[in-house]
Chain A
Amino acid sequence: MTDLTKLTVSAALDGMAAGDFSSRELTAAHITAMEASNVLNAFITKTPEVAVEAATASDARRAKGEAGLMDGIPIAMKDLFCTKGVQTTAASHILDGFTPKYESTVSGNLWAEGAVMLGKANLDEFAMGSSNETSFYGNVINPWRRTGDDHPMVPGGSSGGSASSVASFSAMAATGTDTGGSIRQPASFVGIVGMKPTYGRCSRWGVVAFASSLDQAGPMTRSVRDSAIMLEAMAGFDPKDSTSVDMPVPDFQSALSGDIRGLRIGIPKEYQLDGMNPEIQALWDQGIDWMKAAGAEIVNISLPNTKYALPAYYIIAPAEASSNLARYDGVRFGLRVEGEDLNDMYASTRAEGFGDEVKRRLLIGTYALSAGYYDAYYLKAQKVRTRIADDFKQAFQNIDAILTPTTPSAAFGFGEKSDDPLAMYLNDVFTVPASLAGLPGISVPAGLSADGLPLGLQVLAKPFDEETLFKVAGVLETAAEFTATPDDWWRG
């Protein structure tokens, strides 16, 4: 029997449709895999009973000919999505015991399309991080290791658990959220496909908010086709979210024509960093060649304000977060640490409930908004943001998509970057600009580093043009022929 956990979502849907196996069998195989990969710590809460129930229901639906887009597919749900009746932690101590009485729109959409929940995936606390080293529930480990080395590697962040579960074949797919790169960067580090749609494409209702103007839910899968299928299930207008865009959701799969002849691919010169890792440069050049070979036209473009994207992001995101996280105060849910009076209770609860990185960002954010500094920091950053968005708008007048590396390096080992927050922030240098501009982006695994770690290439497209994005990504995927998988050292 085929190892059911090695199938793509697309192949699994075909297999179930053909009656080769049931969702119950598929799910059972993944529950086993999930249990066997405990050492990766990809899950905060496992929900095998929920999964079995959902799989059973899925098989019944399929028998009646009523299968949805993701029917019967076992997935991991990033623990930032509120799931009704299932503990939701945002990987934080401050949400101890919080069991939502409501379901987020995106997770609800997936369950409505028949997806099966294996469990809640681990992440950086409140989605703040690029290495999944800040979770209250412990680090997530990358299933990939450097060749001949058993030093544990980070999976990237903040969607580290989602990435790790998919890359280790414990889940067929996972949801992630991307604020500054939190889907694309971990996808690159673990050799899978990670996609962030245009801002407003997926609803934010029920997703624990980090930075409201940047957060977007997206799929993390092992193929571009899977990504298209899953996004179609996740996306859609939500009247409960004022920033949700009322546009129809296309059949993204049909964009995967494999034909990009005549498309103009922009190569931004400012993404060529000083002292750029030569492997990354080589991969990028390789990607450019693949595009040319497929008949696309390469256009050199300039996005002059690129270097200011990271500092602008590290004002805007913490500022919004400082306000979004004010509701975690011990009054209506989660951890409460008693105090002498109300303010003391607030201050003690939040000091104990939040981890160091979250606290750092909340303080930066509070400072950036405070009297006397608002103009110099927040207002300034929002203006710089407009300029960055304008750079893209300008460039997109003459091109259809942009090709860049996803990350400045391959995955690194634990502790290698955690004592300098700034070094950690630089992981997002290629992903942040598109976040600020609200553009859709995708990371496709494209090669391996010299020490055997996955490297990804990023494609960006115009707002709401996920179809071109998928089309180009599909061609990239075909050309790259990335079939490498990590040794499964983690199975006991």
Chain B
Amino acid sequence: MGLIIQGATGDWEVVIGLEIHAQVTSNSKLFSGSDTTYGAEPNTQVSFVDAAMPGMLPVINEMAVEQAVRTGLGLNAKINKFSIFDRKNYFYADLPQGYQISQYLQPVVGEGKITIDVKGEESREIGITRLHLEQDAGKSLHDQHPSQTFVDLNRSGVALMEIVSEPDMRSPEEAAAYVKKIRSIVRYLGTCDGNMDEGSMRADVNVSVRRPGDEFGIRCEMKNINSVRFMQQAIVYEANRQVDILEAGGSVDQETRLYDPVKGETRSMRSKEEAHDYRYFPDPDLLPLEFDDAFIEKIKSTLPELPDQKKSRFVNELGLSPYDAGVLVSEKEVADFFELVAEGRDAKLAANWVIGELFGNLNRTGKNLAESPVSALALGALIDLISDGTISNRIAKEVFEEMFDTGKAAGDIVEEKGLKQVSDTGAIEAAIDTVISANPDKVAEYKGGKDKLFGFFMGQVMKATQGKANPGVVTEILKPKLDA
């Protein structure tokens, strides 16, 4: 359901397109052999090529090409066996060459599409216009000195994949779902770590509004948004800003704006306001990027199962609900963890435990899956103890918490704490008899029609057996005795 803004003169539909810049996971930069690791001391990961010294020349990194093709395949996109690198010319402190090597008219990846899921809505297809490779710029630090901007070129030249979407999104939720899906896909593929905090994935958001059914309106671009939450806020603010202008009879200026999360508003970017004439032309220091079908096939053959395929398999073959499947495939690490747990076991049970107890405890302690004190194997072992009747589900929850807090194995905890489920019918029958004889009035009320009291008796038997009685066995023996 798109975001509709109700203006005084009627409804307005919001149109959103995204340009995502994803840093390629690779050891070295796009056109130089410098390290790409985040967080190094200034200018220590800079070669003379990155620093654009006189006479320096670019040489392309084969991994960047592979990662771009890999990502293109993950986006169900057309791979272009012939593409060109162009220079995008402009002056800025973090752009030492005075141009960025990018791809303009002939990118390495063409049209594609991905599916997004917004809670409570049907799956939607979002078109990908293209993906191209380009150099990242360095970093300008404006707050280190009163009158100077400091420049660190460590990031200058790192390979970026720019993924451009069609203007197919109609709400901030769809935009968020799109970003999360792209992030999920590139993380599955290992082509980008999707880390928005460190800036390895950033989004430029294009927003416009129109009367439903009309031509697209003038759009504004909001640059370098690095959080999904801010992106949604920015979209809402910007769409309303545009509607206000149009309702008042004005027209929207096409411009670049930035989002201020503190003030919750978008503002025009003064320095980028002057129309940029980038004077694109093919980089004469490079040749066209060319590869054959065999190259593409080789990459295709090593693609992991992607989120959508995995989700389908979890639903169709493992019987999980679409919602649960969706949660489990959002991160490859989670899916892999789940599959280890589910291996040879009841998949639904495994899913419940991963999504319920495991995630619950991880959230409680602020840990991520990689830091989980309970491994997939350990969790699997716990589930086995439930399945073979050694412990009840309820006891299992206690055991799990102990496993989580101490790292001990399920079996050990059950032994140490004597938590084994009691399934011995003799012992259970004895306990039941004791409870029945201790509560004659309740027995009478039950026989008189108060069925709910069954729970009371269950509770008493569980108490008498320190919770270790096998609830199934209790029910089997208790019911006939009460009915008798």
A contacts B: CB pair < 8 Å: yes
Q: Could you list which residues of chain A lie within 8 angstroms of chain B, going by C-beta atoms?
A: 81-82, 88, 90, 95, 98, 100-102, 104, 204-209, 211-213, 239-243, 319-320, 322-323, 325-327, 329, 331-333, 342-343, 346, 366, 369-371, 374, 378
Q: Does B287 contact A (CB under 8 A)?
A: yes
With A205-B57, A240-B57, A323-B98 as known contacts, state yes or no: A371 contacts B277, CB within 8 Å. yes
Cα–Cα distance between A428 and B183 once the two chains are bound (Å): 55
15 interchain pairs (CB within 8 A)?
A88-B54, A100-B53, A205-B56, A205-B57, A208-B55, A212-B284, A239-B59, A241-B57, A242-B60, A242-B287, A325-B98, A327-B96, A331-B96, A369-B280, A378-B281
With A205-B57, A208-B54, A243-B287 as known contacts, state yes or no: A326 contacts B97, CB within 8 Å. yes
Cα–Cα distance between A369 and B87 once the two chains are bound (Å): 11
Quick one: which of B25-62 are within 8 Å of A by CB? Answer: 48, 51-60
Q: Could you list which residues of chain B lie within 8 angstroms of chain A, going by C-beta atoms?
A: 48, 51-60, 87, 89, 91-93, 96-99, 149, 151, 277, 279-281, 284-287
Dominant SS among interface residues on chain B: loop
Which chain B positions have C-beta within 8 A of A211? 284
Tell whether, in the assembled complex, residue A343 and residue B287 are in contact, meaning their CB atoms are under 8 Å apart: no
**Nearest chain A residue, comparing its CB with the CB of B31:** A242
Tell whether, in the assembled complex, residue A204 and residue B57 are in contact, meaning their CB atoms are under 8 Å apart: yes
Cα–Cα distance between A374 and B86 once the two chains are bound (Å): 13
Kindly provide the distance from the CB of B354 to the nearest chain A CB, expressed in whole angstroms. 49
Which chain B positions have C-beta within 8 A of A366? 279
Tell whether, in the assembled complex, residue A332 and residue B53 are in contact, meaning their CB atoms are under 8 Å apart: yes
Cα–Cα distance between A241 and B91 once the two chains are bound (Å): 25
Tell whether, in the assembled complex, residue B57 and residue A326 are in contact, meaning their CB atoms are under 8 Å apart: no
Tell whether, in the assembled complex, residue B55 and residue A207 are in contact, meaning their CB atoms are under 8 Å apart: yes
**Nearest chain B residue, comparing its CB with the CB of A244:** B57
Which chain B positions have C-beta within 8 A of A326? 89, 91, 97-99
Tell whether, in the assembled complex, residue B99 and residue A370 are in contact, meaning their CB atoms are under 8 Å apart: no
**Nearest chain B residue, comparing its CB with the CB of A343:** B91
Cα–Cα distance between A242 and B60 once the two chains are bound (Å): 8
Tell whether, in the assembled complex, residue B55 and residue A204 are in contact, meaning their CB atoms are under 8 Å apart: yes
Tell whether, in the assembled complex, residue B52 and residue A327 are in contact, meaning their CB atoms are under 8 Å apart: yes
Kindly provide the distance from the CB of B153 to the nearest chain A CB, expressed in whole angstroms. 9
Which chain B positions have C-beta within 8 A of A90? 54
Cα–Cα distance between A240 and B55 once the two chains are bound (Å): 11
Tell whether, in the assembled complex, residue A100 and residue B279 are in contact, meaning their CB atoms are under 8 Å apart: no
Which chain A positions have C-beta within 8 A of B92? 342
Tell whether, in the assembled complex, residue A370 and residue B53 are in contact, meaning their CB atoms are under 8 Å apart: no
List 14 additional contacts besides A104-B55, A242-B285, A369-B281; criterion CB under 8 Å.
A82-B54, A82-B55, A98-B54, A100-B53, A207-B55, A243-B284, A243-B285, A323-B281, A327-B53, A327-B96, A331-B93, A369-B279, A369-B280, A371-B277
Kindly provide the distance from the CB of B55 to the nearest chain A CB, expressed in whole angstroms. 4
**Which of B48, B55, B98, B286 interacts with A329 by CB under 8 Å?**
B98
Cα–Cα distance between A111 and B310 once the two chains are bound (Å): 60
Cα–Cα distance between A104 and B55 once the two chains are bound (Å): 8
**Nearest chain A residue, comparing its CB with the CB of B279:** A369
Cα–Cα distance between A456 and B387 once the two chains are bound (Å): 96
Interface centre among B92, B97, B98 (most CB of A within 10 A): B98
Kindly provide the distance from the CB of B289 to the nearest chain A CB, expressed in whole angstroms. 11
